[in-house]
Amino acid sequence: MNFELTSEQKEAKIRFRKFVDKYVVPNASTYDRIEETPLELIKAMANEGYLSALIPPKYFAKGTDTDTHNQDDRGKNIGYDNCAHIGKEMDSITWGLLCEEIGHASGSLVSLLTVHSMVIQALLKWGTEAQRSHWLPLLATGEVIGGFGLTEVKTGSDAKNAQTTAVQDGDSYIISGQKKWISFGQVARLFLILAQVDGKATAFLIEREREGFSTESINGMLGFRSAMLATLNMNNCRIPASNMVGKIGFGFSHVAGTALDQGRYCIAWGCLGLAQGCVDASLAYSTERKQFGVSLKEHQLIQELIADMITQTQAARMLCYNAAFLKENKDPSLIMETSMAKYFASRAALKVASDAVQIHGANGCSDTYPVERHFRDAKIMEIIEGSNQMQQIIISRYGYQRYLSSQPK
Ligand SMILES: Cc1cc2nc3c(=O)[nH]c(=O)nc-3n(C[C@H](O)[C@H](O)[C@H](O)COP(=O)(O)OP(=O)(O)OC[C@H]3O[C@@H](n4cnc5c(N)ncnc54)[C@H](O)[C@@H]3O)c2cc1C
């Protein structure tokens, strides 16, 4: 296992940081306050190839600004000008580094990469060729943002038992139900949702334009405030049967499973970035800020906090790199190792962010400093993509299978 980045990966990391410093860092606090991610920023990410990074080049095609998929509800264009970087598929480590660098500045924006790539990954693995060749080019350019609709008012962790139904009517399915807390639900144009077909969890694509489909914005969240959450309402929403992804009964175990594996990978790396962002902010602040005649960093109790923060962050990094290494090598233990990376990195991010607020004192409680937002976003990381209790349950099961023998591992 070699954790040394290649020169291309190092260069990519620097490029990602430059993008983040230019577009995200100066505005993240404002976006958090206004609870919006401007479409111009999404467009800039698309132009850098961040939304297409996991799509094989054969699906790339240039869209047009007149395409009807190209506008959000407010009629704003979200197409692209010059996607110079589109067509360059990223390896797993580079994709992780992208999530890390975005997470260094904004948890909300990590969730854009997460849900968008979850839809892409599910289509790549379970979609029909017709679904892939229609949607992937549009997802690649950001003309269409993907959203993932699993959670409902009454079913969160127990998502397999979602109450949304899909009833076949000739060549169509009629979808009825509601999905809640859907990241970027306010702007996404294509949703991958889970519904029951005769009691069997099944995945479908639903386009925003479908009759009977509507969204309601959700505001006032603790964190991820610029992730533009929405409730999705499907009121006898008729979709073609060809919008089914995978087979009847495959929705949770296969399609959502693939999407959630992808989601956990992104969130693990995003948490690493968030934690590193808190470390960096705390190193700078504890160097500048003086109390009792010396800078904070001279106080041993602050050094203890910093030591723990750095160690937790580095441990999270190792688990992320391990997951990336397994992903690159298509190792079957990837799923569980990614689950561990998400579990550990989200806990680490919350602890590190909490310590960062402590080091910043009252300043850490104000939105003048980013650690306050990181702290709120870190708590969300423990809940999404399968809460940490769900991770604990599956990791412990895995532990019994893998380690309950005398063989060395
Ligand atoms: C900011 C944000 C963005 C989100 N984005 C999306 C999205 O894009 N798409 C989407 O589908 N969903 C999204 N969600 C929803 C998220 O996936 C759910 O919140 C999550 O799955 C947990 O479900 P729940 O909130 O209903 O909690 P519940 O399932 O009701 O759980 C409540 C608590 O009980 C614990 N718990 C539940 N069952 C057990 C058990 N068996 N043993 C021990 N503890 C248990 C949970 O861990 C949790 O701590 C988002 C949520 C947030 C906050």
Give me the DSSP letters along 324-344: HHHHHTT-TTHHHHHHHHHHH
Q: Which pLDDT tens digit goes with each residue over 171-184?
A: 999 999 999 999 99
pLDDT of residue 250: 97
- Residue 85: per-residue pLDDT: 62
Ligand 1 touching residue 320 (CB < 6 A): no
DSSP-assigned letters across all residues of 50-70: SSSTTS-GGG-----TT-GGG
**Residue 67 pLDDT > 60, yes or no?**
no
Residues 141 and 200 in one domain: no
Residue 186 is part of which domain span? Answer: 147-251
C-beta 252 within 6 A of ligand 1: no
Read off the CATH number of the domain in which 247 is found. 2.40.110.10
CB of 394 within 6 A of ligand 1: the answer is no
Looking at the predicted structure, is the pLDDT value of residue 72 above 50?
no
Decide: 104 and 273 in contact? Cβ < 8 Å.
yes
- Indicate the pLDDT class of residue 61, thresholds 50, 70 and 90: low
Between CA 306 and CA 284 the distance in angstroms is 11
pLDDT at 62: 53
Residue 406 binned pLDDT confidence (cut-offs 50, 70, 90): low
Which residues 6+ apart lie within 8 Å of 129 measured at CB? none
What is the atom index within ligand 1 of the atom nearest the CA of 150?
11
CB 40 within 8 A of CB 142: no
Instruction: Tell me, yes or no, whether 173 and 239 share the same domain.
Output: yes
pLDDT of residue 89: 85
Do the domain assignments include residue 308?
yes
Distance 346 CA to ligand 1 centre (A): 14
Give the pLDDT score at 64: 39
Residue 60 has pLDDT above 80, yes or no: no
- pLDDT exceeds cutoff 60 at 248: yes
Q: What is the pLDDT of residues 353-363, one digit of tens each?
A: 999 999 999 99
Q: Which helix (H) or strand (E) holds 185?
A: none
* Active site annotation includes 288: no
Position 263 in a domain? yes
Q: Exposure string (b/e) for 347-361, b if CB count within 10 Å is 16 or more?
A: bbbbbbbbbbbebbe
Q: Which of 184, 377, 382, 387 to mutate for ligand 1's pocket (most ligand atoms within 8 Å of CB)?
A: 387
Residue 110 lies in a domain: yes
Is the model's pLDDT at 68 over the cut of 70? Answer: no
Q: Cα–Cα distance between 121 and 207 in angstroms, integer?
A: 17
Residue 214 CA to ligand 1 center (angstroms) comes to 22
Residues 12 and 116 in one domain: yes
Give yes or no: residues 59 and 87 share one domain. Answer: yes
Evaluate: CB of 107 within 6 angstroms of ligand 1: no
Domain presence at residue 1: no
Catalytic residue among 35, 48, 100, 385: 385
| Eight-state DSSP code of residue 4 | P
Q: Do 232 and 314 belong together in one domain? A: no
Specify the pairing of strand 230-240 against strand 244-245: unpaired
Domain with residue 32: its CATH number is 1.10.540.10
Mean pLDDT of 366-385: 98
| Rounded distance between C-alpha atoms, residue 262 and residue 257, angstroms | 9
Token look-up 């800020």 returns 289
Q: Whose CA is nearest to atom 7 of ligand 1?
A: 182
User: Under DSSP, is residue 168 helix (H, G, I), strand (E, B) or coil?
Assistant: strand
**Predicted confidence (pLDDT) per residue in 304-349, tens digit:** 999 999 999 999 999 999 999 999 999 999 999 999 999 999 999 9
| Model pLDDT, residue 389 | 98
Q: Report residue 95 CA to chain centroid gap.
A: 12
The residue with greater pLDDT, 1 or 241, is 241
Ligand 1 in contact with 389 (CB < 6 A)? yes
Return the SS3 of 164: coil
User: Ligand 1 mean position to 333 CA, how many Å?
Assistant: 24
Q: Which residues pair with 294 in a beta bridge?
A: 291
233 and 316, same domain (yes or no): no
Condensed to tens digits (0 to 9), the pLDDT of residues 78-105 reads: 444 555 566 678 999 999 999 999 999 9
- 224 pocket-lining for ligand 1 (C-beta < 6 Å): yes
For a mutational test of ligand 1's pocket, the pick from 150, 160, 181, 225, i.e. the residue with the most ligand atoms closer than 8 A to its C-beta, is: 181
Residue 77's pLDDT is: 43
Q: Is 119 in the pocket of ligand 1 (CB under 6 A)?
A: no
* Together in a domain, 141 and 210: no
Which residue has the least CA distance to atom 11 on ligand 1?
150
The CATH number assigned to the domain holding 384 equals 1.20.140.10
Residue 13: left (phi > 0), alpha (psi -120 to 50), or beta?
Answer: alpha
Question: Is residue 247 domain-shared with residue 154, that is, in the same domain?
Answer: yes
State the pLDDT at residue 208.
Answer: 98
Residues 45 and 51: their CA atoms lie apart, in Å, by: 7
* Residue of the CA atom closest to atom 2 of ligand 1: 181
- Locate the ligand 1 atom nearest the alpha carbon of residue 393 and give its number: 42
> What pLDDT score was predicted for residue 86?
63
Residue 183 Cβ inside 6 Å of ligand 1? The answer reads yes
Model pLDDT for residues 29-53, shown as the tens digit of each residue: 999 999 999 999 999 999 999 999 9
Ligand 1 binding pocket includes 380 (Cβ within 6 Å): yes
Q: Residue 281: inside a domain, yes or no?
A: yes
Distance 8 CA to ligand 1 centre (A): 37
pLDDT in tens, 251-297: 999 999 999 999 999 999 999 999 999 999 999 999 999 999 999 99
Nearest to 306 by CA among 339, 280, 342: 280
Q: What type of residue sits at position 269?
A: W
